[in-house]
Amino acid sequence: MIMPGNPVWLAAARDRKQDSLDKIVIKGGMPLSGEVQISGAKNSALPLLFATLLAEGQSTICNVPDLRDINTAVKLLCELGADASRVEGCVRVDAHRIESIEASYDLVKTMRASVLVLGPLLARFGHARVSLPGGCAIGARPIDQHLKGFEALGAEITLDHGYVEARADKLVGAKINFDMPTVGGTENLLMAAALAEGETVLENAAREPEIVQLSEALNSMGARIEGAGTAVIHIQGVERLQPLSCDVISDRIEAGTFMVAAAVTGGNVLIRGAVRAHQEALISKLVEAGVSIEEEDDGLRVIGPQTLRAVDIRTSVFPGFPTDMQAQFMALMTRAEGSSRISETVFENRFMHVCELQRMGAEILIDGNSAVIRGVEQMTGAPVMATDLRASASLILAGLAAENTTEVSRIYHLDRGYEKIEKKLAALGANIWREQES
């Protein structure tokens, strides 16, 4: 039980307080310049935090971004009985004494990545009970592939009252072929198979950099995993794992968001921590649009052109164009010369930012899972509303380039995945600040 006053309780209370009060205000038109340091990757830190459940003893994960979702993950670890807390840029987790195997609906509904406790709890304790995450703003996002994989390893899966329960006296390695490359499914099964008896083969696995980091982290704990980063991953189960110590890789989606910020304002920004190999698809589309991108020091220098060219994109799994950059790229294309077509193939409802961009003067037509954007000379600031994490980033980017003032409300969505974004943008010369909703 987390008592009031506990640091985890205080962080969650701070998040709740921020929920209803904050908006971000932008007076657009300033070209960005200078340099920005990218934070650790939310989508790598989350599976790493849950991987600590696989080992008795104290794990330490550093370069962890200060985000709502991280606070939620730390709170969940504490609710399971682990001793978890943030110490400056690191999170320490002592998972020696786990008292519960249940992730409640209250927590899972705020962060669907909580389902990533299924694999570790099932592998270490033979039992896990997690609320089904339900849908979210961008789509149904089922976890059938996760459950199919656990059953292949010998787990018995039951669903009742909105919860999924997984039990297994022993997990035995198996061959698992995913219907589609699923990031969370690959992560959950990597963690479960690490302690299964014998060999597990994941086919049609996700190939994201976050999968590679999780595999390297598990191997540093004593696991035997080969092939992460490719579509076929081999895992030889072991008896037990040691605690984890690692630094989270930089956030390629935050880096991509700042690359678009430099491009859309016609700026010149050094993005420290950006890794070219994690961004090839985005870089190639930005260059096609006329943006200059060069490797420099420990990052990428991005120079936005006076005139942007319209380009088409089609999101897909890594190494294709990332769905998590689709909304941000659309904000860029609202200012390009010509028409561009953006097709979203990963999620079924990831155009929630379109109507808000239209309020700012964007000319966008939705046609099924595609949007056609006809570039306009100038967008105009307006009060707009965030609906999900990357849509809120898209509205911030549009506001940076628009004339007059843009107010983005409900930015608790933004705080889930971007660490102090308004402070980082202000340090690059943007006229942007956070204030309380009146």
Positions annotated as catalytic residues are 136
The answer to whether the peptide bond before residue 7 is cis (omega within 30 degrees of 0) is no
Q: Kindly state whether residue 203 participates in binding ligand EPZ, applying the rule CB under 6 A.
A: no
Of 184 and 273, the one with the shorter C-beta distance to ligand EPZ is 184
Q: Which of 21, 49, 173, 201 is nearest to 117 (CA)?
A: 49
Q: What is the dihedral of CA 276, 279, 285, 288, to 10 degrees?
A: 0
Residues between 144 and 163 that touch ligand EPZ (CB under 6 A): 144-146
Of 111 and 300, the one with the shorter C-beta distance to ligand EPZ is 111
3-state secondary structure 113-165: HHHHHHHHHHHHHCEEEEECCCCECCECCCCHHHHHHHHHCCCEEEEECCEEE
Of 336 and 354, the one with the shorter C-beta distance to ligand EPZ is 354
Q: How far apart are CA 34 and CA 231, in angstroms?
A: 39
Applying CB under 6 A, the span of 21-29, 135-143, 234-242, 287-295 interacting with ligand EPZ comes to 135-143
SS3 content of the chain, % helix, strand, coil (to 5): 35, 30, 35
Q: How far apart are CA 47 and CA 242, in angstroms?
A: 16
Q: How far is CA 288 from CA 308, 336, 362, in A?
A: 9, 12, 21
- Long-range contacts of the stretch 411-414 (C-beta < 8 A, 24+): 411/22, 411/23, 411/24, 411/386, 412/15, 412/18, 412/19, 412/20, 412/22, 412/68, 413/386, 413/387, 413/388, 413/389, 414/24, 414/386, 414/389
Applying CB under 6 A, the span of 4-12, 181-189, 213-221, 266-274 interacting with ligand EPZ comes to 181-189
Applying CB under 6 A, the span of 175-183, 228-236, 332-340, 419-427 interacting with ligand EPZ comes to 175-183
Q: Kindly state whether residue 134 participates in binding ligand EPZ, applying the rule CB under 6 A.
A: no
Residue nearest to ligand EPZ (CB): 184
Of 46 and 264, the one with the shorter C-beta distance to ligand EPZ is 46
Name which position in 82, 205, 352, 389 contacts ligand EPZ (CB under 6 A): 389
Name which position in 139, 198, 305, 338 contacts ligand EPZ (CB under 6 A): 139
Q: Count the residues of the shown chain that bind ligand EPZ, applying the rule CB under 6 A.
A: 24
Q: Kindly state whether residue 43 participates in binding ligand EPZ, applying the rule CB under 6 A.
A: yes
Terminal Cα distance for the chain, rounded: 35
Written as six digits, the tokens of 371 are 């949007």
Q: What is the per-residue binding string for ligand EPZ in 53-82, x denoting contact by CB under 6 A? A: ------------------------------
User: Shortest gap between Cβ of 184 and ligand EPZ (angstroms)?
Assistant: 3
User: Shortest gap between Cβ of 243 and ligand EPZ (angstroms)?
Assistant: 22
User: Shortest gap between Cβ of 144 and ligand EPZ (angstroms)?
Assistant: 5
Of 267 and 417, the one with the shorter C-beta distance to ligand EPZ is 417
Name which position in 180, 287, 365, 366 contacts ligand EPZ (CB under 6 A): 180
Q: How far apart are CA 347 and CA 390, in angstroms?
A: 13
User: Shortest gap between Cβ of 325 and ligand EPZ (angstroms)?
Assistant: 9
Q: How far apart are CA 381 and CA 360, in angstroms?
A: 6
User: Shortest gap between Cβ of 149 and ligand EPZ (angstroms)?
Assistant: 9
Q: How far is CA 392 from CA 215, 255, 363, 412, in A?
A: 31, 16, 18, 9
User: Shortest gap between Cβ of 266 and ligand EPZ (angstroms)?
Assistant: 27
β pairing state of 127-131 and 163-167 = antiparallel
Q: What is the per-residue binding string for ligand EPZ in 302-341, x denoting contact by CB under 6 A? A: ---------------------xx-----------------
Of 184 and 375, the one with the shorter C-beta distance to ligand EPZ is 184
Q: Kindly state whether residue 209 participates in binding ligand EPZ, applying the rule CB under 6 A.
A: no
Of 104 and 369, the one with the shorter C-beta distance to ligand EPZ is 369
Q: Are 304 and 259 in contact (CB under 8 A)?
A: no
Written as six digits, the tokens of 256 are 């991509």
Q: Kindly state whether residue 346 participates in binding ligand EPZ, applying the rule CB under 6 A.
A: yes
Q: Which of 397, 361, 359, 356 is nearest to 379 (CA)?
A: 361
Q: How far apart are CA 271 and CA 303, in angstroms?
A: 11
Of 72 and 334, the one with the shorter C-beta distance to ligand EPZ is 72
Residues between 401 and 420 that touch ligand EPZ (CB under 6 A): 417
User: Shortest gap between Cβ of 371 and ligand EPZ (angstroms)?
Assistant: 17
For binding to ligand EPZ (CB under 6 A), which residues are involved?
Answer: 43, 46, 113, 139-146, 180, 182-185, 206, 323-324, 346-347, 389-390, 417
